[in-house]
Amino acid sequence: MQNVIVTHLHPDLDAALGTWLLAKWAKLRGIAVSYRFVPAGQGDATAQYVVDTGGAHDPARGQFDHHFAPLAHDRSVCAATLVADWVSQEPAMAVMVETIRPLIDLVCAGDHGQAPEWSWTLGPHALAEQARIRFRNHDADLLAQLHAQIDLWCDAHIMAREVDQMAAERAQAARNGVWIVEDGSAAVTRRIIERYAPRVVAFWTRSSATTTVGIQRGNEAVDCAQVVARMRALAESLPQSADACAELARWYAHPSGFFAGRGTAKAPDPTPITYPVWAEIVALVEQAVGELYGERR
């Protein structure tokens, strides 16, 4: 069985996202789809679905247009949002729609001339307009190109969601603007910096053969080399901190002050670190940052 999805000639990003969502919904149900193009505003009574054209919104009849009163004046509505609301009745599609909600909102804003400038210069709208120029007289190729771009954006949103979940599971706030990440990836560290504006992120990532441990500067002018120097001085003043001193002696401090630690993707380090030593390193980071840059809860 094959269903026909109709949209307007020279499809834009709204038409592309609406048809993409319908195609994903159909695939879940084992339904093949094909595409047909009509002049803007025109419908097609023989098609199963009509998106961003046709002058009607009637999901029961497969019609998803918003270019008529009162929908035309509602800036929170576009063809993609209409399709998204309908396909979300399918639980698996509801998860996908929620994951790419930022993209749906961005496309809707752009359809009403309200997308931020970055989207028109470097983001989805800029890429879509380039594709529309390249495939000006080849609507099927244009739609395929836009769908391929949406696939990539969808993957990016899924990855971002997974990173957010990892950050929630593996990161925690400590004292003095320090965040602790255990068994997280570099992406988790970046997400913590973007979301929580820490002074410093202390991280420890273990694998079967390597260890990555260290600190990275967050959103303030913190010099990680100075922090590590202070950590060493603190550790040397405590007789029970011999293991922490040995650990810190292995650390490399980048001259920029951005990073200090040992073990990277380019230079893995096989030397393990025990949890008690890691806990002591965390305490030293908190104290050193507080002494150098002021106490903070």
Q: Is the pLDDT of residue 208 over 70?
A: no
Evaluate if residue 25 carries a pLDDT over 80. Answer: yes
Beta-bridged to residue 200, according to DSSP, are: 178, 217
Q: What pLDDT, on a 0 to 100 scale, did the predictor assign at position 190?
A: 85
Q: What is the pTM of this model?
A: 0.68
- In which residue ranges of the chain is CATH 3.10.310 found? 174-293
Q: What does CATH list as the number for 174-293?
A: 3.10.310
| Per-residue model confidence as pLDDT tens digits over 41-83 | 999 999 999 999 999 999 999 999 999 988 888 999 999 999 9
- Residue 149 pLDDT > 90: yes
Share the mean pLDDT of the chain.
92
Q: What type of residue sits at position 184?
A: G
